[in-house]
């Protein structure tokens, strides 16, 4: 087995990001949006400088997760008006 080409590495990163985003969304829809959001934030942090396109995809997942109902037992958000 030889060294992977730049194209192969790029395809692997894009494919892995696709699986990650789908998994984060599924975890959120399964009732764990807070957990999924924390994981997404860590992934975004890891990708933001070297892979901004993939970081944007993870950011989109975070926006999706933010619209889901909170996890059962999670403290209700407070409003400071």
Question: What single-letter DSSP state applies at residue 72?
Answer: T
- For helices 52-66 and 33-47, the axis angle rounded to 10 degrees is 160
Query: Using CA atoms, how far apart are residues 22 and 28, in angstroms rounded to an integer?
Result: 10
**Tens of pLDDT, residues 20-65:** 999 999 999 999 999 999 999 999 999 999 999 999 999 999 999 9
Give the global pTM.
Answer: 0.82
- Give the pLDDT confidence score for residue 3 in this predicted structure: 83
């Amino acid at each position: 087995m030889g060294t992977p080409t730049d194209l192969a590495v790029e395809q692997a990163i894009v494919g892995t990001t696709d699986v990650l985003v789908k998994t984060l969304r599924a975890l959120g829809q399964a009732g764990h949006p807070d957990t999924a959001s924390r994981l997404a934030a860590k992934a975004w942090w890891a990708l933001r400088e070297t892979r901004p396109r993939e970081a944007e995809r993870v950011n989109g997942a975070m926006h999706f997760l933010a619209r889901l109902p909170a996890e059962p037992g999670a403290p209700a958000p407070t409003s400071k008006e």
